[in-house]
Structure 1
Amino acid sequence: MSKQKLAVNEYLKTDSDYLRGSIEQGLADQVTGAFAEGDQQLIKFHGFYQQDNRDIRQERAEQKLEPLHSFMLRARVPGGICTPEQWLALDDIAANLTSYHSIRLTTRQTFQYHGIAKRNVKALIQGLDKAGLDSIAACGDVNRNVMCNPNPVQSSLHQQVYPFAVKLSEDLLPKTQAYAEIWLDKEKLLTTETTVEPMYGNTYLPRKFKTAVAIPPHNDVDVYTNDLGFIAIATGDELQGFNVSVGGGMGSTHGDINTYPRLADVLGFIEPQHSLKVAEAVITTQRDWGNRVDRKRARLKYTIDDRGLEAFKAEVEKRSGIQFKPARPVQFDSRGDRFGWHKGVDDSWHLTLYLENGRIVDKENRPMRSGLRAIANVHKGDFRMTATQNLIVANVAQEDKQVIEDIARQYGLYGELVSATRGQSMACVALPTCPLAMAEAERYLGDFLSKVEALQQQHRIADVPIVVRITGCPNGCARPFAAEIALVGKSTGRYNLYLGASHVGTRLNKMVLENVTEAQILAHLDPLFAKFANERDENESFGDFVVRSGAVAPVYHSATDFHA
């Protein structure tokens, strides 16, 4: 019996000489702004994607020109923390090496650049390196940027957990020297297959892999949407260990009932010193058990559903030599950022700034990039990127508070009233650069939120925060399926509407309308908001209400409930 044919990417990885491919040759070819088709997959492991401007794609085709290719590069910033000096370097790069002259904070606590010409990619990566940052494993079939709750209101616990997130990120990096050789001009080392990738092997993982560290009671990182989660368990301010969760993931495919978003299951509790062994065991089990035939079914969530949670848990225990203890009780009561000033430990202060969609660019009435640069020039603490695409100016001394606040107000970064719903909401990039986008997301979010806010005002629920998320396709980059209200792009100006996720990210939503317009979406929300205003229980969230009232069925088990 012949073996099943593997997905194309599997052969690309195997033949790539540990992610080298022909990237160097493609970089030297200035006749085209693109890389060869196979290398377009390999460069993702180095942290960047090939894109083009879809707004002018047809126009260029009519002129017999190739698409206006450019690149999106995403950095690796474990836990989302960088220094003011690093921020100034990031700003210089945005100004000098990108066509958009902007920095975009992502939904995974890092930043990315758009509009990078091929001739500038190497200089940009070298600029990051000089600033002590990199982009290796920010994309691709490996563990990506490790998230960690920024938690300015729980600073002492964050100080214990954050170093673990950094160590985890470093420990799970690919060991290939391809990144250093191609981008940093390091001399090629002679290695053998057994030493190049001791954890990933020459085929790496079957699909992308995401890890997050959460600090209850705040679920800012949407920990259960990740392949691997570590949920901090503490006694007072003293870290005791972690509940480990596995099998979360947002992506699905329109019309394919074999694909679905999924929230993670909890394997059990471990002590801090066992966490790295367990993480490696989870990854190597997925490496060996994951689906390498169908990339749509290649995430860890499907491996667990296909093999069974208990079998997966037993294999992780076998490989790590660690036995899970019963999970400790966990209570999440919030998600999202707390704007304005908050006091932490050691009399330090933290200022959380709202940045819609995380897009940092100088606009005529709001020069955000210049404002953050001005803050970086005087700030003595650090910057923390949040999982909702906002920014915390962290660890500000009492005597420096007023200076920071004055700059923030001068540049329009602070003082603007943001509704409870707007502050909780986000969108993916989508058009014009994302090749997968079917509809607008980032460019549409603000207008749609204004209409939702108007409905909330009309029904006197403006003070109730509702998590709203929009994505241009069902890949789920802005974690739409964990939102109380989600729009997922279907075609130009049309979306699928999903309702019913819990406000704190512990239950998924479900589709209630397919391929509809904005008018149809608002017409559906209007009577629901009226009913919610009149019939909700005290402190009941919108997501919980629509499930309790029967407006949408709950999703308890994704494989059976999500498409039912």
Structure 2
Amino acid sequence: MTETTVLDRSRDLSQPLDRLGPDESMKDRSDYLRGTISEGLLDRITGAVPDQDDVKLMKFHGIYQQDDRDLRDERRRQKLEPAYQFMIRVRLPGGVCTPAQWLKLDELARAHGGETLRITTRQTFQFHWVLKDSLRPIIQGLHDTLLDTVAACGDDSRGVMCTVDPQSSRFHAEVAAMAKRVSDHVIPKTRAYHEIWYGSERVGGSEPEEPFYGRTYMPRKFKIGFALPPSNDIDVYAQDLGFIAIGEEGGLEGFNVVIGGGMGRTDQAPETYPRLASLIGFVPVDRVIACAEAVMAVQRDYGDRKDRQHARFKYTIDDKGLDWIKAEIERRMGGPLGEARPFAFTSNGDSYGWNTTPDGRHHRTLIIENGRLDLKLLDALRDLARVHRGAFRLTANQNLIVAGVRTEDRPAIDAILAEHFPDIDHFSILRRNAIACVALPTCGLAMAESERYLPTLLDRIEAILAENGLSEEPITVRMSGCPNGCSRPYIAEIGLTGRAPGKYNLYLGGGFHGERLNRMIRENVGEAVILEILADTLGRYAREREPGEHFGDFTIRAGIVREVTEGRLFND
């Protein structure tokens, strides 16, 4: 990181710590994310990490402490502590995974993760049902294949996303390589991770331990993504910082830059809202790292460190003004951004069937419903990983691409797919455009079901579509178990966020390509009301739509919901 940002960091932390929120003070006294995590892991009296500060600090290490929500009430009645377990999230820039890494992930999931894995909406893996004694074995096992969990959670730059299948051309490969470079550049530099999880000795030095982040890191999480038009599969407008690739098949010229996206909101806090990122200009390839550093530094220095509900970059931008933020980014970059280049998105889903790319390799997308890899799927994909000589690529829609297959290897791959995935091409159009977060029973924030319930709800929505002759019409559906929006529900044509068991907020009117927020049409309702509203609205869509008109566009044109023109108006 540059000297300028180090000096800026020192300047902005001159304010007294008692003017900061409790989480900021906690980070400041954590000794660069060490806390007392090592001691807490040795406590055999409890299945938890006993110190609550350590529970928060472990997020920076890619670990969430959770408990089995299905058992919580019964264990309380029996006067037992909650059934504590942990979620571990892997750092996997751009969702790229080798067969060797897949086999190690499979091995660790079987031994320590309840014989299951999750493919997340940010192109990585999550282990669930991990007991405290299994934390180090998993992290050390990941290290054996050059994987880690650094900054997969916490107030830092999260895993960097990238449009899938970068082997389809040199252009794609350049974008994927840049995403990896940015990911490696922006992760925390503290040695705490190596000391706690790998057993490394602490070594002193004269250089700052965190030259960019300082003692208090970022005000909140910060998400970065790289999109490659015409595909907006990563939902680039939902990122704090998005890079939209500009170039030709012969090579990459640079990126349009968008800033300030974010999905989280709180139901009872109308001052919180989702926001789509704003386009501010263009950077050439050789200025991407400088741009990323400058954007993050502005949020680091000016983001709200008192009120965490107001601490995401989107609020900093709306408070300061986009023009002011852009000027500050340019000042830190040492020069102006270029004028944004033309581009267009035509989809945000995945491509299915076999695809052959200019390099002569073949790629096959496997639909993994809601990203849930149960034991049956793990068995199938282990067989696949043992013969595959290319790569696996995780998509932002929770699916899996078997990428880089050589022509001579296709028969073996096809045989395994035919044995384990006989219905591989029989998922409905609706299911191909639907995603859900994990929610219950593991997520501590979940208020309602999501991944366990969405398939059932889709069955009933599919019946409505069939009645109206809409079964082949692509419609995006996103469900989240709480308002935090991990499944990016606020840009779906049909969005649902959990309020209580069996109750959801229903949103309509998002953009099919992820370019427009939706709006709430009904609050805190159950399945019967949801289906009644969808039956009426989809029926009208079937009768009144214009040629080529997407469902979200129709709901606005027909006056069913008002268009949201900017995040601050989302709750109006």
Check if 1:440 corresponds to 2:452: no
State how far apart, in whole Å, the 1-side matches of 2:343 and 2:515 are: 11
**Counterpart of 1:188?**
202
Instruction: Indicate whether 1:81 and 2:96 are aligned.
Output: yes
Partner of 1:45: 60
Q: Which position in structure 1 is the counterpart of 2:7?
A: none
Distance 1:503 1:153, change over 3 A: farther
Does structure 1 conserve the Cα–Cα contact (< 8 Å) formed by 2:168 and 2:359? no
* 1:203 corresponds to: 216
Measure, in 2, the Cα distance between the counterparts of 1:358 and 1:289.
36
Is 1:268 aligned to residue 276 of structure 2? no
Distance in 1, matches of 2:491 and 2:464, equals: 22
Counterpart among 231, 252, 258 of residue 244 in structure 2: 231
1:495 has 2:504 as partner: yes
Residue 217, structure 1, aligned to residue 225, structure 2: no
Q: Find the counterpart in structure 2 of residue 123 from structure 1.
A: 137
Q: Report if the CA contact (8 A) 1:408-1:414 is conserved.
A: no
Cα offset, 1:412, TM superposition: 2.3
Output the CA distance in 2 between the equivalents of 1:165 and 1:448.
36
Which of 542, 546, 552 is the aligned partner of 1:537?
Answer: 546
1:282 partnered with 2:295: yes
Matches of 2:119 and 2:422, distance apart in 1: 15
- The Cα of 1:55 is off from its aligned counterpart by 0.6
CA contact (8 A) 1:278 1:322 kept: no
Other-structure match for 2:74: 59
Residue aligning to 2:324: 311
Q: Name the SS for the 2:245 alignment partner.
A: strand
Partner of 1:301: 314
Does structure 2 conserve the Cα–Cα contact (< 8 Å) formed by 1:230 and 1:243? yes
Equivalent-residue separation in structure 2 for 1:416 and 1:168 (angstroms) = 35
Cα pair 1:371 1:413 within 8 Å, conserved: no
2:164 matches 1:150: yes
Q: CA 1:127 to 1:356, structure 2 compared with 1: closer, same or farther past 3 Å?
A: same
Q: 1:421: Cα distance to partner?
A: 1.2
- Going from structure 1 to structure 2, the CA distance change for 1:380 and 1:463 (only over 3 Å counts) comes to same
* Equivalent of 1:459 in 468, 471, 474: 468
How far apart, in 1, do the equivalents of 2:21 and 2:234 lie? Answer: 31
Q: Equivalent residue for 1:138?
A: 152
Which runs of structure 2 are paired with 1:157-196 in the superposition (5 Å)? 157-192=171-206, 195-196=208-209
Other-structure match for 2:3: none
Show the counterpart of 2:486.
477
SS of corresponding position for 1:389? coil
State the Cα deviation string for residues 307-345 of structure 1 (Å, max 9, x = none): 011111111111111311111112101011112211112
Residues 357-368 of structure 1: matches in 2 within 5 Å? 357-362=370-375, 367-368=376-377
Partner-residue secondary structure (3-state), 1:443: coil
Identity of aligned residues (%): 49
Q: Distance in 2 between matches of 1:505 and 1:240?
A: 24
Instruction: Give the ranges of 4+ consecutive aligned residues of structure 1 lying more than 4 Å apart after TM superposition.
Output: 1-4
Alignment deviations for residues 254-298 of structure 1 (CA, whole Å, 9 cap, x no partner):
021110000000110110000000100111110100000100010
Distance 2:518 2:170 in 1: 34
SS at match of 1:440: coil
2:258 corresponding residue in structure 1: 245
**Matched ranges for 1:15-26 at <5 A:** 15-26=29-40
How far apart, in 1, do the equivalents of 2:111 and 2:253 lie? 46
Q: Deviations over 1:175-201 (max 9, x none)?
A: 000000000111111135x52111111
Bigger shift: residues 530-539 or 442-451: 530-539
Count of residue pairs the alignment pairs up:
557
Give the secondary structure class of the aligned counterpart of 1:486. Answer: strand
Aligned to 1:562: 570
2:526 & 2:134 partners in 1: Cα distance?
A: 40
Q: Distance in 1 between matches of 2:372 and 2:31?
A: 36
- How far apart, CA to CA, are the structure 2 residues paired with 1:3 and 1:433? 34
RMSD after superposition: 1.3
Indicate conservation of the 8 Å contact 2:171/2:248, yes or no.
Answer: no
The whole-number CA distance in structure 2 between the counterparts of 1:305 and 1:262 is 10
Letter in 2 for 1:258: E
Mapped to 2, the partners of 1:474 and 1:104 lie a distance apart of 20
Matched, 1:10 2:24: yes
Q: 1:106 to 1:311 in 2, by over 3 A?
A: same
Amino acid at match of 2:424: G
- Give the secondary-structure state (helix, strand or coil) at the position aligned to 2:506: strand
Q: Compared with structure 1, are the counterparts of its residues 304 and 4 closer, same or farther at alpha carbon in structure 2 (3 Å cutoff)?
A: farther
Query: Secondary structure, in 3 states, of the residue corresponding to 1:169?
Result: helix
Counterpart residue identity of residue 165, structure 1 = A
> Does the CA contact (< 8 Å) of 1:260 and 1:562 recur in 2?
yes
Measure, in 2, the Cα distance between the counterparts of 1:272 and 1:410: 44
Q: Distance in 1 between matches of 2:394 and 2:422?
A: 15
Moved more, 511-520 or 340-349: 340-349
- Conserved in 2, the CA contact under 8 Å of 1:104 and 1:359? yes
Task: Describe the superposition over 1:198-235 as per-residue Cα deviations: whole angstroms up to 9, x where unpaired.
Answer: 11111000000000000000000000000000000013
Read off the aligned partner of 1:172 and give its amino acid letter.
V
Q: TM-score if structure 1 supplies the norm length? A: 0.97
The answer to whether the 8 Å contact 2:165/2:403 transfers is no
Which stretch of structure 1 is more off in the superposition, 462-471 or 155-164? Answer: 155-164
* Residue of structure 1 in register with 2:368 after alignment: 355
When residues 285 and 12 of structure 1 are mapped into structure 2, their CA distance, relative to the original with a 3 A threshold, is same
- Matched with 2:269 is 256
Q: CA–CA distance in 2 between the matches of 1:245 and 1:357?
A: 28
Q: Find the counterpart in structure 2 of residue 327 from structure 1.
A: 340
Larger CA deviation: 438-447 vs 153-162? 153-162
* Contact residue 136 and residue 179 of structure 1 kept, 8 A: yes
Runs of 5+ in structure 1 lacking a partner? none
1:507 to 516, 531, 543: 516
- For residue 527 of structure 1, report the CA deviation from its aligned partner: 1.6
- Alignment check: 8 A CA contact 2:245 2:252 kept: yes
Instruction: Tell me which residue corresponds to 2:8.
Output: none
How far residue 5 of structure 1 moved from its aligned partner, in angstroms, is 3.6
CA contact (8 A) 2:166 2:176 kept: no
Cα gap change, 1:27/1:177 in structure 2, threshold over 3 Å: closer, same or farther? same
- Cα separation, partners in 2 of 1:360 and 1:413, compared to 1, 3 Å: farther
How many Å apart are 1:236 and its aligned residue?
A: 3.7
> Mean Cα displacement is larger for which, 140-149 or 334-343?
334-343
